[in-house]
Every structure is written in C-alpha cells, then in structure tokens.
Amino acid sequence: MKILLSIKPEYVERILNGTKKFEYRKKIFKNKNVNTVVIYATKPIGKVVGEFYIRNIIEDNPQTIWNLTNKYSGISKNSFDEYFHNVQEGFAIEIAHFVKYKKELELNEVSKKLKSAPQSFAYI
C-alpha cells in the first residue's frame, strides 16, 4: 500500500542526494500495510516527483529519535527541535530506496481523489 507525503523541495533534494535518509513526522498512518511513500514536492515545484520504500519506522520521543538518526537527518538540530517542539512522541520513517520519476506528475495523475496536497498524508 502507498501513501502520499508532502515534503518541502529542499528536503526532497537531500533525499535525492542521500544526505537525508529519514523523514520526520509528528503523526503517522495507522495502516501497517503501507510500504511505499510517494513524494509530493511542495511549492514552488508542486508536483509528485518520486517514491521511496520504507525500511523501518522509529517511534519514540524526539530526543531519542534525533540520537538514532541525526547522522542522516538532512536537517539541522534547530529545525528538528522546532518541528518537534512540545511533542512527546514522534516518528522517523527510514528511506530504503528512492526512485525519482522520469516525469513529474500532477496530483490528479496519481489519484483522481486528490484535489490538493495533504497536510499530513493521504492513502493512495
């Protein structure tokens, strides 16, 4: 099963070049059958650019997540702390293999149900 995540273009670039191997989230999908994440690069790109397979999902408090993942976080400690400010539990989705699409797609090319990019995630 696949989900669609909205990710800022700067972080998509870091996923592409291998410096970001974890995608951080405050909330995560409940369906345990999700194994693939399709990436929507937010504006100014505004397109679906590729997908990755999930190697693992770490669920813990933010400090433990940072300690386990910071080498390949692709973000600064300040950005990480700002994102998880006042959050007791977070998630780090480990990226196993990223596949960049040859042609970037519009949301409606991925799913007719998608009218806009998801704030958190959408099942597709």
The token pair at 71 is 């080498």
Residue type, 36: T
- Among 3.40.190.10, 1.10.10.10, 2.30.130.30, 3.50.50.60, what is the CATH number of 2-123? 2.30.130.30
Q: Are 51 and 23 spatial neighbours (Cβ–Cβ below 8 Å)? A: no
- pLDDT tens digits, one per residue of 30-65: 999 999 999 999 999 999 999 999 999 999 999 999
How high is the pLDDT of residue 120? 86
Comparison of pLDDT for 120 and 57, the residue scoring more:
57
Quick one: pLDDT band at residue 80, thresholds 50, 70, 90? very high
Q: What is the pTM of this model?
A: 0.95
The token pair at 10 is 């700067």
